[in-house]
Amino acid sequence: MFNHRVGDYGLTALILTLLLIMLTAGFSLLYSLVWTLVVAARLPSWVDKAEAYVVPGKQLINDLPDQEFMRRLEKVKQLWHQCPVAIYALGGRTYNNTRTEAAVAGEILLESGVDKEAVFLEQVSRHTLENLQCIQPMVEHCSELTLISNRYHLPRLIAMANAIPLSVVAVAAEEHLALSPDSLTRWIKEAFYNHWYGVARVLAKVLG
């Protein structure tokens, strides 16, 4: 599981990440958190033109999307009605759900008025890195993808897309970055993932 989530050397990178956090008394994690927040805050929430939209999946709850997943779908719906190009919904079946994330997303998009011919489903991937790896052969004809997700998620998506590589323009589902006590855990968790992925990328360059 570790290797699939962050690429090669995942478990080694996880151990090194934990060591770095301890040796720096948490400073390296704080740096990652600040980086994540700064990148997320600078992202646009709109784009006038696009070649194709890509919406990463998010774990369903009893086969239903949560509020964050719905924000992604609402944003791509708004963008599509202005610039109707192909939409790629990503995500397979995870945990105890009986439906794929992509299938649920596709159904919601069709119900909101998006043309059936515009919606393409990738139903194999199980997490962020696989989302991007599995979509790559489906979009080889595209020179640039418009990647739509929640602000906290996009910094990691951008880093992973650049490493694959995929040329992307990131668009945030939320209009502005908003911090609250309830969201702090989410941001810290994402900062940890970014820290872990960054260490894994360094290891891949040094050892690969």
pLDDT, tens digit (0-9, with 9 covering 90-100), for 32-49: 999 999 999 999 999 999
pLDDT tens string 112-155: 999 999 999 999 999 999 999 999 999 999 999 999 999 999 99
Q: Are 138 and 88 in contact (CB under 8 A)?
A: yes
Helix (H, G, I), strand (E, B) or coil at 17: helix
Burial class (CB in 10 A: 0-12, 13-18, 19+), 68: middle
Strand extents, DSSP E, 91-167: 119-122, 145-149
Q: Can you give the pTM of this predicted structure?
A: 0.92
Give the mean model confidence (pLDDT) for residues 4-16: 76
